[in-house]
Amino acid sequence: MTTPTTAIELKPSSHPLSAAERAAILANPGFGRHFTDNMVTIKWTEGRGWHDAQLVPYAPLAIDPANMTLHYAQTIFEGLKAYRQPDGTVATFRPEANAERFQASARRMAMPELPVETFIAACDALVKQDKAWVPSEGEQALYLRPFMFASEVGLGVRPANEYLFMVIASPAGAYFRGGVKPVSVWLSEEYVRACPGGTGAAKTGGNYAASLVAQAQALEHGCDQVVWLDAIERRWIEEMGGMNLYFVYGEEDGKRRIVTPELSGSLLPGITRASLLRIAEDLGYEVSEGRISVDDWREGNAGGSLTEVFACGTAAVITPVGSVKSARADWTVGDGQPGEVTMRLRKALLDIQTGAARDAHGWMHPL
């Protein structure tokens, strides 16, 4: 039973951080290091559905050692941003898309589906309450982290009969230190992130846990990020750690061609990825979803037809890929610098999000 519960009881912190303390954090927020004054919690219980929706002061949780999530990882999350608009108001970017993906993740993990309107109401309530935390500098934003985990206590392996949904918020500057600087990537041939029939398309904690050893391997090879290949042939490009990928080709019949790996079932269907499919078309590029192999990448790069590659995601927006390393070959992507198409798409997306450009697709959700 899933009773929609959109009425959120407001019991905010009576001791929020002072304006001076908040300003000191907003001057250099980093990513995911600081959290706002409040959080939202909603419970789900078998037979009762969603209940007890509250906005309460941000605080640690007391977890029973036999909490099922600690053992069997029934947990999912989302990431979306609230942006300060030119008139001082605040708007979130495509929250219903995150709400729908959250439902898809819940289905895959045998968890209850939170109604879309409840997900949005929870995000709205927190952003409204902690509005002073939404930065107004450049690309900064308030990163919202909705998540849900099994809150039942017990060691039986089965879907839990109690869950806790929460939203916390964290002011976010650049995800990668150093701003828009091309990243170097390691092609992971030893480890895979996800396989057909697995959980790769769900935003669940285990996917990230499983990625860490390959990310460490990337760092050992002097690279910033890992790029995942398909699990079967270890040949087709899937995505990067925490971001989807786009490949930009030179001009053909007067149009530049842009391709992003198709949704294979084992990569995350990114909302930035989906938005860029539309924006690229609006800007007159020929854009498609398809399969790109490691050989296509290396040969296209060497032959000059493939000129730019970039990664995209909520946390990191758009980040150029500057160089590639694998066990077999290394190469520089294009001239190793942020490409013209990459930077044009980046600006077009950020302009919509920050209210500098018209929101032709109705993606912004004003509060």
CB under 6 A: which stretch of 29-37, 58-66, 160-168, 267-275 binds ligand PLP?
267-275
What does the per-residue mask of binding to ligand COI show for 263-302, with x meaning CB under 6 A? ----------------------------------------
CB of 79 to ligand COI, least distance (A): 2
The amino acid at 35: F
CB 247 within 8 A of CB 292: yes
The one of ligand PLP, ligand COI, none whose footprint includes residue 271, by CB under 5 to 8 A per kind, is ligand PLP
Tell me how far CA of residue 260 lies from CA of 94, 162, 253, 305, 333, in angstroms: 20, 38, 20, 16, 16
CB 213 within 8 A of CB 191: yes
Q: Which residues pair with 40 in a beta bridge?
A: 55, 167
Residue from 40, 125, 259, 268 in contact with ligand PLP (CB under 6 A): 268
Regarding 242 and contact with ligand COI (CB under 6 A), the answer is yes
What does the per-residue mask of binding to ligand PLP show for 72-91, with x meaning CB under 6 A? -------x------------
Nearer to ligand COI, 118 or 272 (CB): 272
CB of 79 to ligand PLP, least distance (A): 5
Regarding 313 and contact with ligand PLP (CB under 6 A), the answer is yes
How many helices (DSSP H) and strands (DSSP E) are in the chain? 8, 18
- Judged by CB under 6 A, the chain residues 310 through 349 that form the site for ligand COI are 313-315
- Judged by CB under 6 A, the chain residues 210 through 249 that form the site for ligand PLP are 239, 242-244
CA gap 46, 158 in Å, rounded: 13
CB 39 within 8 A of CB 58: yes
Q: Which residues pair with 365 in a beta bridge?
A: 92
Q: Which residue is nearest to ligand COI (CB)?
A: 79
CB of 239 to ligand PLP, least distance (A): 5
CA gap 189, 170 in Å, rounded: 34
143 contact partners, CB below 8 Å, separation of at least 6: 31, 32, 79, 80, 81, 169, 170, 171, 172, 314, 315
210: closest CA among 234, 223, 186, 226?
226
Nearer to ligand PLP, 56 or 277 (CB): 277
Nearer to ligand COI, 111 or 315 (CB): 315
Nearer to ligand COI, 105 or 326 (CB): 105
Nearer to ligand COI, 313 or 320 (CB): 313
CB 163 within 8 A of CB 50: no
Q: Which residues lie near ligand COI (CB under 6 A)? A: 79, 242, 313-315
